[in-house]
Amino acid sequence: MLGQLDHVVYLCRDLADTSGVLPGLPDLPGPPGGTPLNRLTAPDWIAVDSDGIWTAEYRLHGGAVEFLAPAYRAGDPTRTCSGLMQKVEASGPGYKSLVFGTDDLERERTRLHAAGFEPGEITASSARHFDSDERREWRRFRCADEPLHGLKVFVIERAAALAAAADAPILESVEIATQHLDRARQRWRSLLGTRETTGPTAGTLTFSLGSASLLIRQIPETSDDTGSLDRIAGVRVQ
């Protein structure tokens, strides 16, 4: 059972592009004119990995929001992670992935494999804070996109639990937009291992994720194949 949201991933061209994404939180300063990023003070976590990807995370009560952006080469406006930049250019910035937490990754992988979510292999990773010796370690796997109708979903097991500061904002809800509510209901029941609660309005399902909620909202159907895919429509923070 996946009853806890670990974080939501927001992909952007530059960390400076995140202004206004989460009202009430500090804006992320970014590298003006391609200058290498030297320090970020607002997020709870900031790191750059060997692939040239910046990670800036706000840890909230109920989960976290993680911003990813391609880094610059030192003294050169060329991006070091062209693959990530291509993804941003292809689909635009926005919320791209959901990451659920578990304390038994093997058990969840077995369960989701039996349910048809085609989980990938378990991989181990670690990262060090950009400006300190703090390290994080975790293992995770990714479910296939097709069973989730285009949504990118990961399951993560952390070596050490992460806690939000006492005065951190509250992650109230994450909203998924779908053209096929009945289809989404069955898929999310299977993925989370639980049933939905009563929707607050017609055309909306609500699943509990600890103190946060997952809202599945029906939108009008279109003939566009891309538009028919489910997507993360937004995040609400108190």
Which domains are seen in the chain, by residue range?
171-237 (3.10.180.10)
- Greater pLDDT, 198 or 119: 119
135-142 and 152-158 strand pairing? antiparallel
Q: Residue 40: its pLDDT value, please?
A: 37
Q: What is the pLDDT of residue 110?
A: 98
Closest CA to 135 of 206, 74, 231, 47: 47
Q: Residue 127: what residue type?
A: A
Question: Is the model's pLDDT at 28 over the cut of 70?
Answer: no
Tens digits of residue pLDDT in 78-106: 555 667 777 777 778 889 999 999 999 99
Give, in order, the Cα–Cα distances in Å from 233 to each of 54, 55, 70, 195: 23, 21, 23, 21
Q: Is the pLDDT of residue 235 over 80?
A: yes
Q: Looking only at Cα atoms, what is the longest distance across the chain?
A: 54
Q: What is the DSSP letter of 63?
A: E
Least confident of 147-156, 179-188, 190-199: 190-199
> What DSSP character marks residue 129?
-
Closest CA to 64 of 99, 93, 13, 30: 99
Instruction: Note the pLDDT of residue 46.
Output: 86
Using CA of residue 63, residue 64, residue 65, residue 67, what is the dihedral sign? negative
